[in-house]
Structure 1
Amino acid sequence: MATIKSSYSGNLRTEMTHQLSGNKIITDAPLDNNGKGEAFSPTDLVSAALGSCMVTIMGIVAQRDGISLENLSWNITKVMQSNPRKISEIIVDFDWKTPVADKAILQKLKNAAKTCPVALSLDPEIKQTVNFNF
């Protein structure tokens, strides 16, 4: 069975359904590429997936080590290039208001983030800038 079922809705919009859960994602082309910009663009989703994957793997490590990631947040900045139009850089800025004090644990979490499956799957030409503000 397919993991995701997708369809084209017209006007540069797509709809994807996660088959196991039924959750849906809609994408729109961005304003600067003939779209309405009313939803995530496909390249927004790639960028968001990097941050989400990093935190998911950090969460697995944190659970295993009995650490709470409460108050961890992050912002994603996607940098596009043209000719060809593609993502040139994804910047992930982590902020954690209440990090653990143990420097070894913090380094373990940072290493987990940088080796998440999405980070390892992206083309090496896409610069991944990760800032840990903790």
Structure 2
Amino acid sequence: MATSKITYTGDLRTTSVHLKSGKEIITDAPTDNQGKGEAFSPTDLLATSLGNCMLTIVGIAAKNHGFDIDGTTAEVTKVMAENPRRVSEIRINLQFPGNNYSDKDKAIIERSAKTCPVAHSLHPDIKQEITFSY
């Protein structure tokens, strides 16, 4: 079964529908590539997916090991390169609330984040710079 259906709606905009839930995501081309920049660009989604995946996998690990990461945020910065135009680097700063994480918890968090499926799916030429703020 398909995961999503994407419709080009004109003026460099798409609407993607998650078929199981019906939830929608709109994308626009970025302003530096002839677009309006009124929504995530496809490359923004690529970079953001890494942060989403990391938080999800860390959340699973935290649940399995008896601690929580509720309120944790990921600040994502995408760096573009030219010739060919592509994502060259993704910087993620994971910011954990409070300071009640043991050294064991931190090791679980950091290992889990760096081994999420999206991190493993990205081309090795895309630099992944991950920082953890506790």
TM-score, normalised relative to structure 1: 0.97
- Native 8 Å contact 2:16 2:26 kept in 1: yes
- For the pair 1:112 / 2:115, whether they are aligned, the reply is no
TM-superposed CA distance for 1:2, in Å, is 1.0
Which residue of 2 is the match for residue 50 of structure 1?
A: 50
Percent identity, please: 49
Which residue of 1 is the match for residue 66 of structure 2?
A: 66
Over the aligned positions, Cα root-mean-square deviation in angstroms equals 0.9
TM-superposed CA distance for 1:55, in Å, is 0.5
- Native 8 Å contact 1:12 1:35 kept in 2: yes
TM-superposed CA distance for 1:94, in Å, is 1.2
Determine the C-alpha separation between the residues in 2 that align with 1:100 and 1:51: 22
Which residue of 2 is the match for residue 15 of structure 1?
A: 15
- Native 8 Å contact 2:80 2:89 kept in 1: yes
- Native 8 Å contact 1:75 1:92 kept in 2: yes
Which residue of 2 is the match for residue 40 of structure 1?
A: 40
Which residue of 2 is the match for residue 101 of structure 1?
A: 101
Where does structure 1 differ by over 2 angstroms across 4 or more consecutive aligned residues?
none
SS of corresponding position for 1:84: coil
Which residue of 1 is the match for residue 121 of structure 2?
A: 121
SS of corresponding position for 1:14: strand
Which residue of 1 is the match for residue 85 of structure 2?
A: 85
Determine the C-alpha separation between the residues in 1 that align with 2:14 and 2:123: 24
Structure 2: stretches of 5+ with no match in the other structure? none
Determine the C-alpha separation between the residues in 2 that align with 1:99 and 1:38: 36
Tell me the number of residue pairs that the alignment of Structure 1 and Structure 2 aligns: 134
Aligned letter for 1:119? A
- Native 8 Å contact 2:81 2:87 kept in 1: yes
TM-superposed CA distance for 1:99, in Å, is 3.9
- Native 8 Å contact 1:3 1:18 kept in 2: yes
CA change 1:99–1:62 in 2 (3 A) is farther
What are the Cα deviations for residues 32-64 of structure 1, in whole angstroms up to 9, with x where unaligned?
000000000000000000000000000000111
TM-score, normalised relative to structure 2: 0.97
What are the Cα deviations for residues 69-127 of structure 1, in whole angstroms up to 9, with x where unaligned?
02311200000001110000000011112143310121111100000000000000000
Aligned letter for 2:66? G
